[in-house]
């Protein structure tokens, strides 16, 4: 475990309260029936999920850190995600909506009171940030749950920019040249510089990379539609064995939420409404198998996570080696001009937007807008040591794929070039797309 950079108890409290306001806003307009929602393998009942968020905060910042008893004697039996099987969460005797909200408020109030009264040492900062970032991640999950179920877009208590998610007047982008990355010895992973990182980012270790060429932008809807329109989903030759088995079992003929528009072309469902498919937005809600098949058809490949991180983070150092940036544009924090984060656009932006966020090599939007699948399996880095929250990474090594970069709902306080997301290769519900690399030779 390492500590966070210096932060005051007041600043922590403000962030915790703001994160809770987002969580509550994501479910405020849902009916009681929608708070449970259909029983699906890929999402949680929202009523369970918001209770779990509060339970997690209490577990680490009140019970673990301060030795206090749980607010409910049955809390672990209801909300411990490591012990409560996913498929049973709809059948639990969950508290009602008013009781759940009261429980969440009681826990947050207790946390904030103790932040004011107790010393905010390194250990306390670590566990409060752990709870904060956990809540941020579940807010993102609640957003794609709303999309999965076709609920209305959320109304959040945050400033938003003029959204470009519905832009249909922009035609497809002309093909552009790949970015050349010279390769060499590169440090993959986070460095122990005093910032909070998760155990799966530890620690930076050298990898040797051959020179490679990577697309400067994510694959667009228009580009992916070309694959669909030539029958890419019906041609076995583009798919791996595992990918074809998934496609046949799922009956997939196009990306999730796409459907043919009257008179031709494509429409896509965005939350609860159909709209024309915006050609310059990144393709979204495709899984790893679909990304792999597209790359095979296009004569391309997915980048490894080491290649992705080098393209996002590396810049030349005076010694002739590579220096790593915290973000593609440098070490300065994200701003709306550099990255589409923090819900500000309430959706994706065109892939050619935000040139101020380019990496040293000229890769655009490697932070924000859309998560990007990589070719890599999710596994431990050399010398991996599990952190106190042992269920976060270790149980998922070996059967998940790595995604990088964050998306429009990702919080800027959470993301960085070394941050590793991970899902099974069949997941289509998350805010994921991809960029591609040229094949060698």
Residue 49 has pLDDT above 80, yes or no: yes
Residue 286 near residue 428 (C-beta atoms within 8 A): yes
Q: How confident is residue 164, by pLDDT bands cut at 50, 70 and 90? A: very low
Average pLDDT, the chain: 95
Phi, psi of 368 (to 5 degrees): 90, 180
Residue 166 has pLDDT above 90, yes or no: no
Give the least confident one: 140-154, 316-330, 332-346, 423-437.
Answer: 316-330
Residue 156 has pLDDT above 80, yes or no: yes
Residue 165 has pLDDT above 50, yes or no: no
Structure confidence at residue 321 (pLDDT): 84
Structure confidence at residue 73 (pLDDT): 97
User: Do the domains spanning 9-149 and 165-441 agree at the CATH topology level?
Assistant: no
**Which CATH number does 165-441 carry?**
3.90.1580.10
Residue 156 near residue 22 (C-beta atoms within 8 A): yes
Q: What integer is the mean pLDDT of 233-248?
A: 98
Q: How confident is residue 5, by pLDDT bands cut at 50, 70 and 90? A: low
Q: What integer is the mean pLDDT of 43-72?
A: 97
Q: What is the pLDDT of residues 186-227, one digit of tens each?
A: 999 999 987 899 999 999 999 999 999 999 999 999 999 999
Structure confidence at residue 168 (pLDDT): 42
**Which CATH number does 9-149 carry?**
1.20.120
Q: How confident is residue 159, by pLDDT bands cut at 50, 70 and 90? A: confident
Q: What integer is the mean pLDDT of 429-440?
A: 96
Residue 7 has pLDDT above 50, yes or no: yes
Q: What integer is the mean pLDDT of 422-439?
A: 98
223, with CB counted inside 10 A (0-12, 13-18, 19+), is buried
- SS in 3 state form for the chain? CCCCCCCCHHHHHHHHHHHHHHHHHCCCCCCHHHHHCCCCCCCCCHHHHHHHHHHHHHHHHHHHHHCCCCCCCCHHHHHCCCCCCHHHCCCCCCCCHHHHHHHHHHHHHHHHHHHHHCCCCHHHHHHHHHHHHHHHHHHHHHHHHHHHHCCCCCCCCCCCCCCCCCCCCCCCCCCCCCEEECCEEEEECCCCCCCCCCHHHCCCEEEEECCEEECCCCCEHHHHHHHHHCCHHHCHHHCCHHHHHHHHHHCCCCCCCEEECCCCCEEEEECCEEEECCCCCECCCCCHHHHHHHHHHHCEECCCHHHHHHHHHEEECCCCCEEECCECCECCCCCCCCCCCCCCCCCCCCCCCCHHHCCCCCCCCCCCCCEEEEEEECCCCCCCCCCCCCCCCHHHCCCCEEEECCCCCCCCCCCCCCCCEEECCCCCCCCEECCCEECCC
Where exactly are the structural domains of the chain?
9-149, 165-441
Give the least confident one: 6-10, 82-86, 343-347.
Answer: 6-10
Residue 118 has pLDDT above 90, yes or no: no
Q: How confident is residue 313, by pLDDT bands cut at 50, 70 and 90? A: very high
Tokens 């577990």: give the residue.
Answer: 59
Structure confidence at residue 176 (pLDDT): 82
Q: How confident is residue 4, by pLDDT bands cut at 50, 70 and 90? A: very low
Q: What integer is the mean pLDDT of 32-61?
A: 96
Structure confidence at residue 172 (pLDDT): 81
Residue 441 has pLDDT above 70, yes or no: no
Residue 97 has pLDDT above 60, yes or no: yes
Q: How confident is residue 301, by pLDDT bands cut at 50, 70 and 90? A: very high
């Amino acid at each position: 475990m390492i500590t966070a950079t210096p932060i005051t108890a007041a600043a922590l409290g403000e962030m915790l309260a703001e994160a809770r306001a987002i969580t509550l806003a994501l479910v405020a307009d849902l009916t009681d029936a929608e708070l449970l929602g259909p029983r699906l393998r890929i999402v949680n009942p929202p009523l369970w999920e918001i209770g779990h968020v509060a339970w997690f905060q209490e577990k680490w910042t009140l019970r673990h850190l301060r030795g206090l008893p749980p607010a409910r004697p049955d809390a672990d039996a209801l909300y411990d995600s490591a012990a409560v099987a996913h498929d049973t969460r709809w059948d639990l005797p969950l508290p009602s909506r008013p009781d759940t909200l009261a429980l969440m408020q009681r826990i947050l109030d207790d946390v904030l009171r103790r932040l004011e009264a107790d010393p905010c040492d390194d250990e306390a900062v670590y566990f409060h940030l752990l709870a904060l970032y956990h809540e941020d991640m579940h807010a993102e999950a609640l957003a794609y749950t709303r999309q999965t179920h076709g609920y209305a877009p959320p109304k959040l208590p945050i400033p938003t920019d003029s959204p470009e998610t519905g832009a249909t007047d922009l035609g497809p982008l002309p093909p552009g040249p790949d970015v050349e990355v010279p390769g060499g010895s590169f440090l993959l992973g986070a460095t122990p510089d005093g910032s909070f990182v998760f155990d799966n980012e530890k620690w930076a270790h050298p990898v040797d990379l051959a020179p490679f060429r990577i697309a400067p932008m994510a694959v667009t809807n228009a580009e992916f539609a070309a694959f669909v329109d030539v029958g890419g989903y019906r041609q076995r030759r583009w798919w791996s064995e595992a990918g074809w088995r998934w496609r046949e079992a799922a009956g997939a003929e196009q990306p999730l939420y796409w459907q043919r528009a009257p008179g031709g072309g494509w429409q896509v469902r965005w939350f609860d409404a159909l709209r024309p498919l915006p050609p310059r937005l990144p393709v979204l809600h495709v899984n790893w198998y679909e990304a792999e098949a597209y790359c095979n058809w296009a004569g391309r490949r997915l980048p490894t996570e080491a290649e992705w991180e080098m393209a996002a983070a590396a810049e030349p150092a005076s010694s002739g080696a590579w220096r790593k940036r915290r973000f593609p544009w440098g070490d300065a924090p994200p701003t709306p001009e550099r990255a589409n984060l923090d819900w500000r656009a309430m959706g994706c932006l065109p892939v050619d937007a935000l040139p101020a966020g380019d990496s040293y090599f000229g890769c655009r939007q490697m932070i924000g807008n859309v998560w990007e699948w990589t070719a890599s399996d999710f596994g431990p880095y050399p010398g991996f040591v599990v952190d106190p929250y042992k269920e976060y990474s270790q149980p998922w090594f070996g059967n998940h794929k790595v995604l990088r970069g964050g998306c429009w709902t990702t919080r800027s306080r959470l993301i960085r070039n070394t941050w590793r997301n991970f899902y099974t290769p069949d997941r289509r519900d998350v805010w994921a797309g991809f960029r591609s690399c040229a094949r060698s030779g």
